[in-house]
Chains A and B, each alone.
Chain A
Amino acid sequence: MASASRFYCFTLTIISLSCFGQSKSKLPILTTKQEIKNIRYLSIDGKNTYYQRRSGSFYLSTKFKLFEIIKGKKGTEYSSSTSYYQTKMAITVNRNYHTLFSIRKPLEIYVTELGKPSAKYIDTGVNPNLHLKDEWISFYKHKEKQLQFSNIKNDINNFQIKIGSQLNPYFVPEVIMLNDFEIVYTDINNNGFPGIIHFNRTTKIFTSLYKSVSISKKLEFCYNEKDLFIIELSIGQQAGGTNIYYIKTPSNYKKLKSKDIIYSSKLNDIGKMVCPRNHQNLYFVQNLTNPSGKEYFEVSKIDLKTRKVDVISNLKNVTNLIYHGGRVIIPMHGVNYVVFGNHELPDDKINFETVEQQ
């Protein structure tokens, strides 16, 4: 009976893929009190919810109180990102989200301490990332082709790195900070080959750590301030394969050279690695195209001890995977499937009996 209904759904899929949105997954769905599409951050304990309203402002709802964090007009769009430390959140504000489609336009960047009803304006740019226990924030400025690093506590320490990529106007580098002085980032050389560069702020020396063999490769980092994972993806239609490298505690760049392959595939995976702190699994979107060529993409996890790869979703066509508020989530068609972490709302009812006794 179950297989019949699956077949029915599959048939319908061919005719109308709208049934994809209703795929029955074995994964739990993230439940929220308000419409999920407005939420930008939901803490694991459910106490802090950041969301945007149609009016265009950005709010924090915490402990039955509501705070306006950033004011905006109708049509303003907010997005947020956190590190694996979960102490601060970077917010980008796009004030012309629906009226100016430009992937490179500079967005306002703010930082807020999670749960605190205020946000600090940093600068404009794209792709903000928090580093080193959320004390630093980096972001990219397309126009200047510059990676900007801001110390959230002390602006004096701010610095920049000029990116070499001339061939790809849409390139945004991946970046990690090993410590206050050592930065590792991706770049594209004059011939179009992606590579990894190490920069030492003290000596001002740039060292090339790795260069891909093909221009059709993309390098992505996943760093939880303990372990570093690098995925090398093939971005074309032609099969170029995927490799995931693992570098344990890369306290300095010398260690970066001794990387270990923990996963390799002949297929072009999607990637989007998530590597939570103190967690023995690495999550990513894997290409599970069957021998006949039918394409499937699912979330898989690599057990870092045994290096065993397990497929953990059954949604057929996963294209996205994010780390959010202590959870690993697959956002798909407006539904958020929880791969790891709490998916239910904590019980925050007021216990009237206790109140009466008091």
Chain B
Amino acid sequence: MKLKIFLPFWQNQLNKNYFIQPIIIFTMVLSTNLFANIGILGPLQKIVRHEKSQLYKLYNVAKKNVKQYNEVKDIKSIKMAPLFLQSIILNSDPKFLEISNKDSCRFYSLLENSLLRTSLGFIDNVIISYLTKKKSDPLKDKLKNNLSEEIVQLGLLSVKDFIKINYNKKCYNQKDVVELFTVKNVKKTIKNIKFIVPKTEKDCDSILSDWSDNLYLPYLCNLSNIIRRGETAKKEKAELATGEIRKIRKFNNQISFSNKYKDLLSYFQISYIENICSNINSPKRFCNRYLAKDVWTKVLNGAKPKYLLKYQCYNILRKKNLSKLDYQNCVKIISHNDPRCKREGANNYPAIFPKQACSEISDALLEARLVTKYQDCPGFLNNEGIINTFRLIMHQEESIPSLDSKRCMDPAIEKFYNLYNESFKNWPFKICYKNRFQQNTQCTSYFPGNSKHPSSEGSVIGKIIENFHAGEKNTFCHFIKEKNYNPKRLKYQSGCFLVYQEKNCSSFNCPKKIIQDLKELKDIKYTGEILFDMIPNSFKNEFKSIAYILAKKYKSPLKSLKNLTEINFFMKASIKNIVYGVGCVEEILPRIYSNKSLNGCTPMPFIIDSTKNVKGNTKFTLRLSIDDIHSPRLVNWNHVFNGVRSFQEKHPLNLWALYGFSK
């Protein structure tokens, strides 16, 4: 590997580098011994091996003379030992050496940021040489007319001290830069840096050229390395045995140091810095990521949010903890339009099947805006209005749903319950029970689900049992499928269980046996049906519609968008603006759904989050409520228009149900 770098490096350096060239010549002259011994045309491998042993010998000599800053700060002749410098040139990454060509201060800056190395590895200490007076022999001095002889002395100095000496002597600007990258200032510094993304191939050269002149670059690359080392430490720590305390401590230090910086940078910034540092000498490689036409590569380089790719890869690779390599492999798969995009995930997160092809999803996501940091399952939730509302709420809140429930539809129900309850107090779902103290029947609101929310089904029934059936404090009732419930097993002997038959269950109608300490309770009953106006159905009750509540809560005026011009205008007003509506599914997806009746229409809520022109057709990135959240489709505006127009015919207020939703 070293040899591969070695030859092109020399060719390159000898042709281009004006700073390194004299260093090389100088070091070659000084190390004539080396070449004399093995011959200048000897195998390069031998040269490298010989260089390492020479450096090692030199290091052993130098470490006998460890110096501190104060001891050497005034010595003018102090410099890096030539053999040490030669080793740096032979062993460091050529792309960084190329940067050091600019001036010697850049070289020191690279050294300061651990971007250079010798054959002995990363550089903690510098082998220095300086001139010092030979110990004088008074008799000889007398003979030589008192002229003392100077000799070259070797010593070992920490990188920090070596840098300090050189910055104080000549690199004054560099001292200010160091200050900008202290933990205290780095956030502000990064904020002021412009990470320009190339839009054309022409941009690539100029952007890279600017970066290689940028004094911040070595410091940014060091940040990238610190973060990467932290990630590696995390993985290595996970594989360590618990007894290896020293190693664990070392990894912990690396992780916490890495986290300090990681928290200050966005995913895009981290990815951009990594890209620039890896490809500073290759505009083509640097730009490949940004000029890629698929959304997946854009996610990899941080130009698009990671959640666009994350859930696709969860499904395709069938694993949850994805490493960087996993993401790269996943992108390789889906970039080739693998059929798995259409199929994978359909069992755990059911939605309309098949999902869209990878390439179609990529096209649809390129300009998409909907924040989708979660995975929902419309197929488990038999209510398209709730799914759409949940998606709109999550877009506003940009949150990740809590995962304290095992059922994937529960976060949607819980969010909907919270929204509904904030506006009205007449939530329809009740659990009714006999109050034994007051001798009457009382009802408590609940929402179906198994989360720890105080109004979830499990919590409400637990509370009733606690109060009226001698249950323990904080009783919680756990959902369990009838086929898994075995009262003979110890864990089912006590506690509360809601036993249900999967085949009889839908999200809002799932009859359950309530079992407390093996005894079935029959006096607790479920009532209610979830009916609500997604959009205003009457002037009188306009304020009771979900569209109105959402508009009020998120301060987004309930504005109907009548035509394409209005939609485009609204979308252009802010990059976070999206559009939602209700239309007849038979018109929006005419190939999939058919209508046999005169004036027939099946209403379907949907969300639009980008528009694009494809061969003269205006297409929307659209997610029907029955679509998988991570598989949007491109739908012709004419089909959306037909769908909304047909639903308008059915609506009691003749409403054009297409609304802007701003953030």
Interface residues of A, Cβ cutoff 8 Å to B: 14-18, 20-21, 36-42, 54, 75, 77, 79-81, 96-105, 143-144, 166-171, 188, 191-192, 215-216, 218, 220, 233-238, 268-272, 285, 292-295, 297, 316-317, 319-320, 322-325, 329, 331-334, 336
> Is the Cβ of A192 less than 8 Å from the Cβ of B353?
yes
Bound state CA distance, A167 and B346, in angstroms? 6
> Is the Cβ of A192 less than 8 Å from the Cβ of B354?
yes
**27 A-B residue pairings within 8 Å (CB atoms):** A16-B562, A16-B564, A37-B599, A38-B599, A40-B598, A54-B652, A77-B650, A79-B600, A100-B383, A101-B384, A168-B352, A169-B352, A215-B343, A215-B353, A216-B357, A235-B591, A235-B592, A237-B633, A271-B591, A272-B594, A293-B614, A295-B638, A317-B642, A319-B638, A324-B598, A325-B598, A334-B649
> Is the Cβ of B598 less than 8 Å from the Cβ of A322?
yes
* Additional A-B contact list (17), CB under 8 Å, known A16-B565, A168-B353, A215-B339: A15-B565, A102-B382, A167-B346, A169-B351, A170-B379, A188-B353, A192-B343, A236-B357, A272-B594, A293-B615, A294-B616, A317-B638, A319-B586, A320-B595, A320-B642, A323-B596, A333-B645
> Is the Cβ of B591 less than 8 Å from the Cβ of A218?
yes
Bound state CA distance, A283 and B356, in angstroms? 28
| From A17, A54, A80, A218, residue with most partner B Cβ within 10 Å | A17
> Is the Cβ of B597 less than 8 Å from the Cβ of A292?
no
Closest-CB distance, A158 to chain B (whole angstroms): 20
| From B351, B531, B533, B591, residue with most partner A Cβ within 10 Å | B591
Of all chain A residues, the one with the shortest Cβ separation from B591 is A235
> Is the Cβ of A319 less than 8 Å from the Cβ of B532?
no
Interchain CB contact (< 8 A) of A292 among B563, B616, B625, B638:
B616
> Is the Cβ of A103 less than 8 Å from the Cβ of B565?
no
What residues of A have a CB within 8 angstroms of the CB of B563 in the complex?
A: 15-18
Q: Determine if B305 is an interface residue (Cβ-Cβ < 8 Å).
A: no
Closest-CB distance, A238 to chain B (whole angstroms): 6
> Is the Cβ of B598 less than 8 Å from the Cβ of A236?
no
> Is the Cβ of A268 less than 8 Å from the Cβ of B626?
no
What residues of A have a CB within 8 angstroms of the CB of B379 in the complex?
A: 169-170
> Is the Cβ of B597 less than 8 Å from the Cβ of A40?
yes
Q: Determine if B218 is an interface residue (Cβ-Cβ < 8 Å).
A: no
Bound state CA distance, A18 and B562, in angstroms? 9
> Is the Cβ of B356 less than 8 Å from the Cβ of A236?
yes
Do A98 and B596 contact each other (CB < 8 Å), given the known contacts A167-B343, A294-B617?
no
Closest-CB distance, B63 to chain A (whole angstroms): 67
> Is the Cβ of B598 less than 8 Å from the Cβ of A101?
no
What residues of A have a CB within 8 angstroms of the CB of B562 in the complex?
A: 16, 18
Q: Determine if B462 is an interface residue (Cβ-Cβ < 8 Å).
A: no
What residues of A have a CB within 8 angstroms of the CB of B582 in the complex?
A: 101
Closest-CB distance, B602 to chain A (whole angstroms): 6
What residues of A have a CB within 8 angstroms of the CB of B342 in the complex?
A: 192, 215-216, 236
How many A-B pairs with Cβ below 8 Å? 198
> Is the Cβ of A336 less than 8 Å from the Cβ of B598?
yes
What residues of B have a CB within 8 angstroms of the CB of A220 in the complex?
A: 594
What residues of B have a CB within 8 angstroms of the CB of A329 in the complex?
A: 598
Q: Which of B561-595 contact A (CB under 8 A)?
A: 562-565, 582, 585-587, 590-592, 594-595
Bound state CA distance, A75 and B650, in angstroms? 10
What residues of A have a CB within 8 angstroms of the CB of B645 in the complex?
A: 21, 333-334
Closest-CB distance, A66 to chain B (whole angstroms): 19
Of all chain B residues, the one with the shortest Cβ separation from A30 is B598
Q: Determine if B646 is an interface residue (Cβ-Cβ < 8 Å).
A: yes
> Is the Cβ of B534 less than 8 Å from the Cβ of A101?
yes
> Is the Cβ of A79 less than 8 Å from the Cβ of B597?
yes
Bound state CA distance, A192 and B382, in angstroms? 21
What residues of B have a CB within 8 angstroms of the CB of A323 in the complex?
A: 596
